[in-house]
Amino acid sequence: MDNAKQITRVLFESFEPQAIHLFYAIGYLAIAIFIYGVFVQIRKYRRGKADGSWNELFGRFVDMLKTMATHRTLVRRDKSAGRAHGLIFLGFVLLFIGTSTITLEYDILEPLFGIKFWYGNFYLIFSLVLDVAGLSLIVGLLYMMYRRQWLNLPKLDYKRVDRQPGDPDFDRSQYRREDWAFLWSFILIGITGFILEASRLVWLSEQATVWDYRFWSPVGALLAEIMHGLGLTDQSAGVLRPYLWWFHGLLSLTFIACIPYSKIKHIFTAASSLMFKDPLAGRRLPMVPDEQKTAGYKTITDLTWKNLLHLDACTKCGRCQEACPANAVGAPLSPRDVILSLREFANHALSSKELPKEAELDIHGKGIGQVFMETLWSCRTCLACVEICPVAVEHVPIIVQMRRNLVEAGEMEPLLEKTLQTIHKTGNSFGESKRKRAAWTKELPFEVKDARTEPVDILWFVGDYASFDPRNQKVTKSFARLMQHAGVDFGLLFEAELNAGNDVRRVGEEGLYELLASSNIGTLQACDFASIVTTDPHSFNTIRNEYPDFGGQFEIEHYTTLVKRLIETGQIKLKKKLDCRVTFHDPCHLGRYNKGFDAPREVLKLLGCELVEMGRNRDNSFCCGAGGGRIWIPDPVGLEKPSANRMKEAGQIEGLQVFVVSCPKDLTMFEDALKTSGYEGRFVVRELIELIDECVEYEVWEDSAVTA
C-alpha cells in the first residue's frame, strides 16, 4: 500500500512556499477576472426583454447534453470539421474533469478531511486517460488550423457582403486574429503540458515509482525517450522544468481569465443556446405582447435575453451563410453577418455600467454594427440558416422582428406596401374579388360542397395562388377531380377563405396577419369537418404551427400525405406507371419547416418514376426565392434569381425529363426560371398532382363529362 501511494505526482514538487503562494494569488486573480466577465455578460443579457424559454428545463438540459455528446449538429454537411471539433471537445472535457479532480483532492478533500485517492492504479489510469485526451485535443486543433490556413473555405471569409471595401467594418480582420489566438493558445497549452510531463519523467528517471510506470503516460513517455536520446540529463530536465511549469500554468490561467471576453466563451454560450432553443423557431413566430407599444425590434434592448445569448453563441462557422439562398445569388445578406453585427452592437451598447441614450441603441441603419434595410428585405425566411446552425441560433425570428419595425415605419418596397394594402382590402394578394376565389369550381363536372353550410369530412384550404393564378388553377382542378374520384367527402370555404397570412407574417405585417388569422379561424370554427387538407405548404405551416396561438387548433395535412394514403388504400386507382426520369424540389414550408420529405417521394415511387436527387435536397433544399414575401418584391436588376440557380442545379442531371414541385409558388417561380435560364425544351416543370392525374384510372363517365 505504501508503495502504491508513492505512484503519484506531487503537484508542487520542489517548489518553494512563496512560489506556491504566488501561483495561488495569480490563480485567484484569474478567477476574479473570469467571474467579473461572467457578471458583465449576465448583466448584458438581463438588459434584454423577457423570454418564456424556461419551461421543461430538465428535458432541455438532457437534450442539450445529447447534442453535445453526439455532436450531431456539428457533423452535418461538414463531417471533417465536426469530427475534429469532437476530438477537441472530448479532450477539453476530459482535461477539465482531470484538473477538477486534482483540485478536489489537493484543495478540498485532503486539507479538510484527510482524504487522498490520487495515487496507485487510479493515478495510472488517470494519467493514461489525460494523455489520450491531450492528444485528442492537439489533433483536433491541428486539423482546424490546417482547415483555416490551407483549405481557403469561402464560409471562413469574414468580409461582410453588405459592406464595401474601405468601410470600417467590412474586413472584420479582428475575428481572424481572434480565431488564431484561440487556436494557438489552446494548442500551446496542450503541447507544453506534454513537454512538461516529459521533462518531469526525465528529471525523476532515477525513481522507479516514476520511470517504471512512465508508459501510463504514453505521449509524455515518448517525448521523454526523445529527450533522453537528444542528450537531456536529469539535472538539465530539473532546471528546465520550472520554466515550463510557469509558462504552462500562466498560459492556462490566462486562458481561463479570457473566457468571458473572447471566442472561448462559446464553450458555455453554445451549450446554453442549445438548451434554450425553440423547436419551432421560425415555423411559429412570436406574438406581439399586448403591453408592447411598438411592433418588432428597433433598439438592441428590444431583443430578448435569449436573442442576446444566441448572438454570443455564434461561432462564425459560416454554415448559415453557405446555405443561404440570398447569399448564393449575391444579395446583401449573410445570416452570420446579421448575428455578428448585432453582437458587436450589443457588446458596445450593453456591456458598460450605464446604458447609452435610446437614440444610440437603434440597430437599424448604415452605422457600424447596424443592419441595413436592404439586408433584412433580402431574406427569404426559408429557415436554411436556422436549420443548419450547429448551436441553434435563431436568425429568422430576429430578422422578422426587425422587419416588423420597418413595416411599422413604412420602410419597404412600394410594391410590397401595395400588395399588403391589397390583401387587407380583398383578402388575397391578387386583388381579386372575394367572390372569384372559387370561380374555378364552375368548370368542374361536379358540385363542390360549401363547408360553411354542410358537414364535410375534409375541408380543403386552397390558398391564393391555387385559387387565382391561371396556371395553378389547372392543378387545383386536377386535385378536385382526384378527390372526387377517390370518393373523398370534401368542401371549400369559397369566398370566406382569406389569405392564410404565412408570408404576410414573415414580411413583418403582424397586425394584418392577426386580422387574417382571426377571420380564418372564426370561419373554420363555424364549420363541421374532421380535418383540413391544403395544396399550399405556406398555408399548411401557419395553420398547423401558428393558428393554435390564436385559438385555432385544427388537424391539417399537406395533400401529398393524403394522396399517398388514398393510392395505398386503392381509393385512387392508377391506370399506368410513368416511365420518366424526375427530380423533386422540396418546398421550404413543407420540407424544412414541417419535415414533409417522404410522402412526395413515395408517391413518385408509386407512380413508377425514376427519382434522381439534386445535390441540395430534403433539409438542404434550395429555396425557390418566393418565401418571406419576396414573391411580391422585385429582384434587383443583374442579380441571379434563386429559382434560376436551382434550375442550373437540376440541369446537371443527365436525361432529366421532369422537375417536380408540390407548391403553387414553386410552380410559378420555376416555370418562369425554366424559360429564362435556357433549359426550356430540355425538361419540364410539373406539379406532382399533374403526374398523379396522368396515371389515374378515371371512370368512363367522368372522362365524358370532362370532355363535354
Q: Give pLDDT tens digits for 368-426.
A: 889 999 999 999 999 999 999 999 999 999 999 999 999 999 999 999 999 999 999 99
pLDDT tens for each residue of 514-556: 999 999 999 999 999 999 999 999 999 999 999 999 999 999 9
Set of cell numbers at residue 238:
530539473
pLDDT at 581 over 60: yes
Q: Is the pLDDT of residue 568 over 90?
A: yes
Residues 9-43: pLDDT tens digits?
888 888 999 999 999 999 999 999 999 999 999 99
In percent, how much of the chain has pLDDT > 90?
85
Mean pLDDT, the chain, integer? 93
Q: How many CB atoms lie within 10 A of CB 620?
A: 17
pLDDT of 113: 87
Q: Residue 700: its pLDDT value, please?
A: 53
Lowest mean pLDDT among 18-22, 73-77, 289-293, 467-471: 289-293
Q: Exposed, middle or buried: residue 125 (CB in 10 Å: 0-12, 13-18, 19+)?
A: exposed
Q: Are 363 and 345 in contact (CB under 8 A)?
A: yes
The whole-number pLDDT of residue 401 equals 97
Cβ 269 vs Cβ 309: under 8 Å: yes
Mean of pLDDT values over 457-479: 97
Tell me: pLDDT of 486 over 50: yes
What residues form DSSP beta bridges with 317? none
User: Residue 279 CB: number of other CB atoms within 10 A?
Assistant: 9
What are the residues whose beta carbons fall under 8 Å from the beta carbon of 191, sequence distance 6 or more?
Answer: 138
Residue 682 confidence (pLDDT) above 90 = yes
| C-alpha–C-alpha distance, residues 313 and 268, integer Å | 8
Q: What is the mean pLDDT of residues 649-653?
A: 96
> Is 60 exceeded by the pLDDT of residue 608?
yes
> Using an 8 Å Cβ cutoff, are 577 and 607 in contact?
yes
Residue 1: predicted pLDDT: 45
Q: pLDDT at residue 660 above 90?
A: yes
Alpha-carbon distances of 440 from 6, 100, 446, 537, 702, rounded to whole Å: 90, 72, 12, 20, 18
pLDDT tens by residue, 589-599: 999 999 999 99
Residues of the chain with CATH 1.10.1060: 287-411
- The arithmetic mean of pLDDT across residues 427-446, rounded, is 96
How distant, in Å, are the alpha carbons of 46, 359, 362 from that of 356? 15, 8, 11
pLDDT at 702: 46
- Mean pLDDT to the nearest integer, 653-660: 97
* Average pLDDT of the segment spanning 96-102: 92
Residue 31 has which C-alpha cell? 478567477
Q: What is the reported pLDDT for 119?
A: 87
Q: Residue 168: what pLDDT?
A: 81
In the structure grid, which three cell numbers stand for residue 701, read together? 363517365
Give the whole-number percent of the chain exceeding pLDDT 70.
98
Give the separation between CA 173 and CA 237, rounded to whole angstroms: 41
For residue 484, pLDDT over 50 is answered with yes
Distance from chain centroid for Cα 524? 33
The C-alpha cell 413583418 sits at 508
Question: How far are the Cα atoms of 412, 674, 702 from residue 580, in angstroms, in the given order?
Answer: 44, 19, 26
Query: Is the pLDDT assigned to residue 167 strictly greater than 90?
Result: no
Give helix then strand counts, H and E, for the chain: 30, 9
* CA pair distance 313, 298, nearest whole angstrom: 22
Question: Binning pLDDT at 50, 70 and 90, where does residue 703 land?
Answer: very low
Element (H, E) at 294: none
pTM of the model: 0.93
In order of 472, 625, 685, the CA distances from 477 in angstroms are 9, 26, 18
Residue 358 or 31, more confident: 31
pLDDT of residue 217: 94
- Give 444's DSSP letter: S
For the record, the C-alpha cell of 117 comes out as: 485517492
Least confident of 249-253, 287-291, 337-341: 287-291
Single out the residue of 367, 326, 409 nearest to residue 167, CA to CA.
367
pLDDT at 504 over 70: yes
Spatial distance between the Cα atoms of 496 and 453, rounded to a whole number of angstroms: 12
Give me the CATH code for the 287-411 domain, please. 1.10.1060
Q: Is 60 exceeded by the pLDDT of residue 117?
A: yes
Helix (H, G, I), strand (E, B) or coil at 222: helix
Average pLDDT over residues 227-239: 91
- At residue 708 the predicted structure's pLDDT band, cuts being 50, 70 and 90, is very low
Across the range 630-652, mean pLDDT stands at 93
